[in-house]
Chains A and B, each alone.
Chain A
C-alpha cells in the first residue's frame, strides 16, 4: 500500500531529508495547487511536528528542518503566485528581534519562518535590539505585536525595558508583547514576571500565539 503524502513528508522531515521533503510538497502543489497543498499537506504535517516537539519527542534539529521547509515551501508558493497559483493569507505585521545584549538568532529566525508561512508580514530587527527600536518599528510598520527573543536569564532581564517603553508611549492597549527563548521554556513564570503577554513553547506554536495576541490588541 502506498504511504500517505502526509506520512511521507513527516518522515522526510524527521529524518532531516530537506530536499525530499520539499520535493514531496512541490510535487503535490504542482498537481493540486499551492494553497490547497499548504492547507492539506504542509500545515497538518507541521502541526504534527509541533505536537511532537512540544512533547519533547523530537529534537531541535528536526524542528529546524521543519522551519527550513516552511521557508522554502513559501518561497516556491510565492513564485507560483506570479502565475496566479497562490495567494497567501494576509494577517498583519509583526516586529521580531532579540532583546538587547542577546545574540542567539536561531529561535527568532525559526519563529519568523513559521509566521511568514502563516501569512504574517515579519519585520525582523535582528539581534541586540534596544527597547526604543522595537517600539519605533512597531509604530512605523503599524504592527500590533512585538516578539522578543532571549535565550538566557541575564538577557531576558532586559525584557521589562521593552514593556516600560510600550507603557511610556501609552501603547499598552494596542501593542502586545510576546516573549520566546529557552529561558521561558524552562521558567514559564518569567513571561508574566518580566512583563510579556504570552509565549510559545516551540517556534511552530508561534502563529497560534500571535493570532491570539492580535485579537487581544485593540486596533
Chain B
C-alpha cells in the first residue's frame, strides 16, 4: 500500500494495515542531508535532498513541501529575517492596513514568480517527482483568513476585523484570490493535498459572532476555490471544542488536532467522516528519547480506539533541526509495529 492509498483509505473509513503519518522536517531534513536549513529553504534541490534523507529514517506516508508561510507575504514586499537553524521569520509585513493591502493585491496578479513563491512551487514539483507516488505530497499554505495577518500584521488585521469589517472583507476577497491561485499552482506542481493552519476562525482568537459572520464566510469562499483537498490544522489553539463550527467547509477532508485537544470530543463533533490527526508539538520533539517518544505515541494511539480515520503528524512549527535522527526511526518503528 502506498502512502496516498493509505491516506485515502483512512479518509474513506476503510481499515488499513497501519495509520498514515508524516512529520514536517524541513530544517531537520536539511541538517540530515548536510546543509544548513536556510540553504535548503532557498534551493529546491537541497530541500528535496533533505526530505529524502528524512524519509529514509521516517518512511512517512505524507511528505511536506516547504513550510514557509512568510514567503507568501514576502511576495508582496514583506521583509524576512533569518533565524538560526530554522526557517525565515516575517520581520515586517508589506502593508500598513487592510485597505492599503486590498488595493495592492487587487492591482497585481498573484505573484507566483516572486522568488520565495517560485521556490515553494519548484520544491513541490521536485518533491512530487522524487516520491513518485509512493508518498502523498502536502503543501502548507496560509488560509485566506490568516494571510491578511501576514500582509498587515496581527494587530492591524484584528483592528480591521473588529472595527472596520468592510475593510476586512475587502482584504479577505483579495486574500481569497491569492489562496486560489497558489492552491492551483500547488496542484499543478504535483501536490495532492493542502495543509492549512487556521487561526482566525477559532473562538480563542476571534469571538464566535465574528467567526460566524465574518471569518467563516471568507474561509468557505477560499476553500471552495481549492482544487485540492485540505487538511485543516488547529493553528496553535484548542480545536476540539470548536470544531463543530467548521462543518461544511468545502474541500476539508481532515483536521490536525493539538496537544490540548480531546480526540473523542472532536470525533463526536465532526462525525465519522474526516481524518483526525493526533499530534506531538514539533518544537518539543527534540526533548524526547526514543523510549519516551514511544510511550507518548502509545498514549496518543489509545485515543484512536479502532477509528480508521486516524493519522499522526506534528503540531506547531516544524521539528527542530537538532532533533536526533533516531527519533524519526522511533516513529517509523512504532507505526510499523517494530519493537
Residues of B within 8 A of A59 (CB): 203-207
Q: Is A72 an interface residue (CB 8 A)?
A: no
Q: Is B281 an interface residue (CB 8 A)?
A: yes
Interface residues contributed by chain A, number (CB under 8 Å): 29
Q: Is B158 an interface residue (CB 8 A)?
A: yes
Give CA–CA (A202, B153) in the complex, Å. Answer: 20
**8 Å CB contacts to B: which residues of A172-190?**
182-183, 186-187
Give A contacts to B, CB under 8 Å. Answer: 14-16, 18, 56, 58-62, 64-65, 101-106, 109, 127-128, 152-155, 182-183, 186-187
The contact string, 1 if C-beta is below 8 Å from chain A, for chain B 77-93, is 00001011110011110
B91 touches A182 (CB 8 A): no
Known A61-B158, A155-B83, A182-B236; contact A101-B207, beta-carbon cutoff 8 A: no
B317 touches A61 (CB 8 A): no
Residues of A within 8 A of B81 (CB): 101, 103, 128
- Of the A-B pairs whose beta carbons lie under 8 Å apart in the complex, a sample of 15, sorted by A's number, is A16-B210, A59-B203, A59-B204, A59-B206, A60-B205, A61-B206, A61-B207, A62-B207, A101-B81, A101-B84, A106-B155, A128-B81, A153-B283, A154-B317, A183-B283
A154 touches B283 (CB 8 A): yes
The contact string, 1 if C-beta is below 8 Å from chain A, for chain B 49-84, is 000000000000000000000000000000001011
Q: Is B184 an interface residue (CB 8 A)?
A: no
Which residue of chain B is the closest to A16 with respect to CB atoms? B162
The contact string, 1 if C-beta is below 8 Å from chain A, for chain B 237-280, is 01000000000000000000001000000000000000000000
Which residue of chain A is the closest to B321 with respect to CB atoms? A154
Give B contacts to A, CB under 8 Å. Answer: 81, 83-86, 89-92, 153-155, 158, 161-163, 203-207, 209-210, 236, 238, 259, 281, 283-284, 316-317, 320
Report the minimal beta-carbon distance from B186 to chain A, rounded to whole angstroms: 25
Known A64-B162, A103-B92, A186-B281; contact A154-B206, beta-carbon cutoff 8 A: no
A153 touches B317 (CB 8 A): yes
Report the minimal beta-carbon distance from A101 to chain B, rounded to whole angstroms: 5
Residues of A within 8 A of B283 (CB): 152-154, 183
B207 touches A14 (CB 8 A): yes
B320 touches A61 (CB 8 A): no
B154 touches A128 (CB 8 A): no
Give CA–CA (A18, B236) in the complex, Å. Answer: 27
Residues of A within 8 A of B155 (CB): 64, 105-106, 109
Q: How many A-B residue pairs have CB under 8 A?
A: 75
The 8 Å CB contact of A65, one of B85, B89, B91, B162, is B162
A60 touches B204 (CB 8 A): yes
The 8 Å CB contact of B83, one of A60, A101, A105, A183, is A101
B207 touches A16 (CB 8 A): yes
Give CA–CA (A109, B154) in the complex, Å. Answer: 12
B162 touches A153 (CB 8 A): no
Report the minimal beta-carbon distance from B176 to chain A, rounded to whole angstroms: 21
Give CA–CA (A15, B208) in the complex, Å. Answer: 10
Give CA–CA (A173, B203) in the complex, Å. Answer: 41
Report the minimal beta-carbon distance from B108 to chain A, rounded to whole angstroms: 25
The 8 Å CB contact of B89, one of A58, A103, A186, is A103
15 further A-B contacts with Cβ under 8 Å, apart from A15-B209, A106-B153, A155-B83, are A14-B207, A16-B163, A59-B203, A59-B205, A60-B204, A61-B210, A65-B162, A101-B81, A103-B81, A103-B91, A105-B155, A153-B316, A154-B283, A154-B320, A182-B236
Residues of A within 8 A of B317 (CB): 152-154
Give CA–CA (A143, B153) in the complex, Å. Answer: 30
A128 touches B210 (CB 8 A): no
B284 touches A153 (CB 8 A): yes
Residues of B within 8 A of A182 (CB): 236
Which residue of chain B is the closest to A18 with respect to CB atoms? B163
B238 touches A56 (CB 8 A): yes
The 8 Å CB contact of B158, one of A64, A105, A127, is A64
Report the minimal beta-carbon distance from A170 to chain B, rounded to whole angstroms: 28
The 8 Å CB contact of A18, one of B83, B162, B210, is B162
The 8 Å CB contact of A61, one of B89, B153, B162, B284, is B162
Give CA–CA (A82, B209) in the complex, Å. Answer: 40
Residues of A within 8 A of B238 (CB): 56
Which residue of chain A is the closest to B90 with respect to CB atoms? A103
Give CA–CA (A170, B29) in the complex, Å. Answer: 41
Closest 3 CB pairs of A and B: A153-B283, A16-B162, A154-B86
Report the minimal beta-carbon distance from A199 to chain B, rounded to whole angstroms: 17
A104 touches B161 (CB 8 A): no
Residues of B within 8 A of A14 (CB): 207
Known A60-B205, A152-B317; contact A106-B154, beta-carbon cutoff 8 A: yes
Residues of B within 8 A of A62 (CB): 207
